[in-house]
């Protein structure tokens, strides 16, 4: 009896193992993955009677193209630095949202020969502060005219002097009054600044009599044609260099 049962169980085990082997090697349904790579991965391990789920491919959406604002497209290149009006620190032009930045000087302020009737002798410098012009009298009813920056309101002056000193790339020592005045505005000036491109006196300076006034260059050429200084007459560096070579110590200067 025991042998009969053992044989029965053995035969059953053999048949069961054979069935499992056949099931293991039977063809399985394919693994179906959504063709849309943007969708979640869905793998349908479907049975023989199941319908696998396949996500339809979605139409590709056009990518948005960045369109810069027209204001930025039309903006001209801006200067990367500027000087505070008058003799002061150099600051980036980007901190001037209240004032447009001029990238070019207005044509009337460029050096040019003009008709100029005067009783002054050739070689005399005449400065018209109202119209922001400096004239170097050449005679025969003509003069060489330059654009200049002049004293801001409260710093205007007029008079006649002579050039008593000339300097190339002059250093700058701000007067005590200017240091105090600018400090009250939050602009802290150095006690002294060596000559160079960042110096507010620019490339050349011509000192007038025993005063603190000068005809000098600038590190802020966009201010030419404006009333912005503390009384000095400022010119573009290329223009003051040109004038510097044409005049001598002792030249008469008339400021009107």
pLDDT of residue 9: 53
pLDDT of residue 172: 85
Answer yes or no: 187 catalytic.
no
Provide the pairing of β-strand 227-229 with 150-151. parallel
Percent of the chain clearing pLDDT 70 (strictly above) = 60
Phi and psi torsions of 181, nearest 5°: -65, -45
Phi and psi torsions of 32, nearest 5°: -105, 125
Q: Other C-beta atoms within 10 Å of 120: how many?
A: 15
Whether 54 and 63 have beta carbons less than 8 Å apart is answered as: no
Classify residue 178 by burial, with Cβ atoms within 10 Å: 0-12, 13-18, 19+: middle
User: Is it the case that residue 165 has pLDDT exceeding 80?
Assistant: yes
Q: What is the pLDDT of residues 147-158, one digit of tens each?
A: 999 999 999 999
Mean predicted lDDT score pLDDT of the chain: 75
Rounded Cα distance between 136 and 139, Å, is 9
User: Is it the case that residue 199 has pLDDT exceeding 60?
Assistant: yes
Whether 174 and 87 have beta carbons less than 8 Å apart is answered as: yes
What is the enclosing helix (H) or strand (E) of 139?
Answer: strand 133-139
pLDDT of residue 23: 57
Rounded Cα distance between 129 and 224, Å, is 12
pTM over 0.85: no
Q: Which residue is associated with the tokens 């960045």?
A: 66
pLDDT of residue 74: 42
Rounded Cα distance between 210 and 223, Å, is 26
**Nearest to residue 231, comparing CAs of 251, 248, 208?**
208
Answer yes or no: 161 catalytic.
no
What is the enclosing helix (H) or strand (E) of 253?
Answer: strand 252-255
Under CATH, which number does the domain 82-255 receive?
Answer: 2.40.440.10
Tell me which of 93 and 237 has the higher pLDDT: 237
Two structure tokens written together for 28: 């399985």
Catalytic residue among 25, 161, 187, 216: 216
Range in 9-23, 47-61, 130-144, 211-225 with the lowest mean pLDDT: 47-61
Percent of the chain clearing pLDDT 90 (strictly above) = 48
Q: pLDDT-derived band of residue 247, with 50, 70 and 90 as boundaries?
A: very high
Q: What is the pLDDT of residues 43-64, one digit of tens each?
A: 444 444 444 444 445 555 555 4
Mean pLDDT of 186-194: 84
Q: What is the pLDDT of residues 87-141, one digit of tens each?
A: 433 333 333 334 444 557 899 999 999 999 999 999 999 999 999 999 999 999 9
Q: pLDDT-derived band of residue 181, with 50, 70 and 90 as boundaries?
A: confident
């Amino acid at each position: 009896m025991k042998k009969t049962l053992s044989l029965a169980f053995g035969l059953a085990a053999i048949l069961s193992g054979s069935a499992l082997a056949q099931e293991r090697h039977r063809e399985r349904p394919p693994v179906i993955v959504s063709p849309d790579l943007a969708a979640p991965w869905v793998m349908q391990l479907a049975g023989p009677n199941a319908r696998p789920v396949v996500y339809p491919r979605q139409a590709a959406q056009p990518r948005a193209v960045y369109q810069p604002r027209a204001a930025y497209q039309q903006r001209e290149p801006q200067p990367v630095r500027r000087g505070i009006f008058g003799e002061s620190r150099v600051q980036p032009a980007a901190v001037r949202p209240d004032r447009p930045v001029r990238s070019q000087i207005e044509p009337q302020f460029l050096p040019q020969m003009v008709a100029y009737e005067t009783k002054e002798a050739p070689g005399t410098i005449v400065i018209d502060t109202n119209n922001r012009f400096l004239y170097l009298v050449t005679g025969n009813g003509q003069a060489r005219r330059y654009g200049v920056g002049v004293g801001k309101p409260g710093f205007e002056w007029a008079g006649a002097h002579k050039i008593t000193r000339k300097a190339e790339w002059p250093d700058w020592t701000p007067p005590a009054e200017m240091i105090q005045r600018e400090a009250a505005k939050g602009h802290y000036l150095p006690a002294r600044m060596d000559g160079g491109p960042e110096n507010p006196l620019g490339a050349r300076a011509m000192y007038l009599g025993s005063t603190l006034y000068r005809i000098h260059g600038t590190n802020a050429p966009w201010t030419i044609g404006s009333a912005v200084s503390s009384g000095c007459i400022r010119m573009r560096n290329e223009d003051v260099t040109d004038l510097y070579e044409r005049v001598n110590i002792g030249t008469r200067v008339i400021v009107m």
